[in-house]
Amino acid sequence: MLRVVVCVSGGGTNLQAIIDGIAQGAIFNTEIVRVVCNNPGAGALERAGKAGIESVCVSPKDYGNREQFEEALIRSVEEAKPDLIVLAGFMVKVPAALIRKYENRIINIHPSLIPAFCGTGYYGLRVHEAALSRGVKITGATVHFVDEGMDTGPIIMQKAVEVHEDDTPETLQRRVMENAEWVILPWCINLIASGQVKVENGKVTVAE
Ligand code: GRF
């Protein structure tokens, strides 16, 4: 059984896609053992509660400085003894110490086709605003392993989504979530749970 900790900050629709994927059998042999959140008001916490999943909130406001917050965050993840850590709309830079310990065992969902519209400052609606302002015809989502950079780790899977001429950042975000994020994130977890994902020289291969 793959033990998964999901880190969230917002509405939790990607968390919900994982919960539903496990419930429907689309994600093999996997259990979400804990949800870790940095935002006490996050809708994701409600989703975790409804699914009977233990959640822990580690808010920077509760700690005297960044180092103490990061120590508490690392502890809250490690206590759950995860095999895989999933960043699902998580708006906190993962401490380097955790990334080093969980090399190629932390994945993130980013709402663009990396290397487009990613890196520092590209998150949430800003990604889709940038895509619309550049006038791209195709965008999408990417699941990648997390390294010490920002959205720079080995890419596991991507899914493209058409941009419509009348799109607003909100309508585009919704289509990318529905047609790409909520599809490839559960799929990648399933592939990892099935032992099909390998990383060699910074490149991902998926065994049939
Ligand atoms: C999504 O667009 C996701 O790609 C980004 O955060 C947004 C909110 O995700 N990382 P969620 O609804 O909290 O899963």
Task: Read off the pLDDT of each residue in 64-68 and give the average, rounded to a whole number.
Answer: 97
Q: Is 11 touching ligand 1 by the criterion CB < 6 Å?
A: yes
For 176-190, what is the mean pLDDT?
98
Single-letter amino acid, residue 193: A
CA 177 / ligand 1 centre spacing (Å): 8
3 state DSSP class of 164 = coil
The pLDDT assigned to 190 comes to 98
Ligand 1 center to 14 CA (angstroms)? 6
| C-beta 14 within 6 A of ligand 1 | yes
Predicted TM-score of the model (pTM): 0.97
Ligand 1 test: best mutation among 38, 177, 188, most atoms within 8 Å of CB? Answer: 177
Q: Give me the percent of the chain exceeding a pLDDT of 90.
A: 100
Q: Which residues, at least 6 apart from 132, have a Cβ–Cβ distance to it below 8 Å?
A: 163, 167, 168, 169, 172
42 pLDDT tier (thresholds 50, 70, 90) = very high
pLDDT, tens digit, 9 for 90 and up, residues 80-103: 999 999 999 999 999 999 999 999
Q: Are strands 84-87 and 106-110 parallel, antiparallel or unpaired?
A: parallel
Please list the residues that pair with 84 across neighbouring strands: 4
For the question of residue 110 being annotated catalytic, the response is yes
End-to-end CA distance of the chain: 20
* CA–CA separation, 64 and 183 (whole Å): 39
State whether the beta carbon of 186 lies less than 6 angstroms from ligand 1: no
Per DSSP, 84 falls in state E
The number of the ligand 1 atom at minimal distance from the alpha carbon of 87 is 10
CA nearest ligand 1 atom 9, residue: 89
| 95 C-beta closer than 6 A to ligand 1 | no
Residues in the chain: 208
Q: What separation in angstroms does the CA of 28 have from each of 11, 22, 31, 87, 198? A: 25, 7, 9, 19, 17
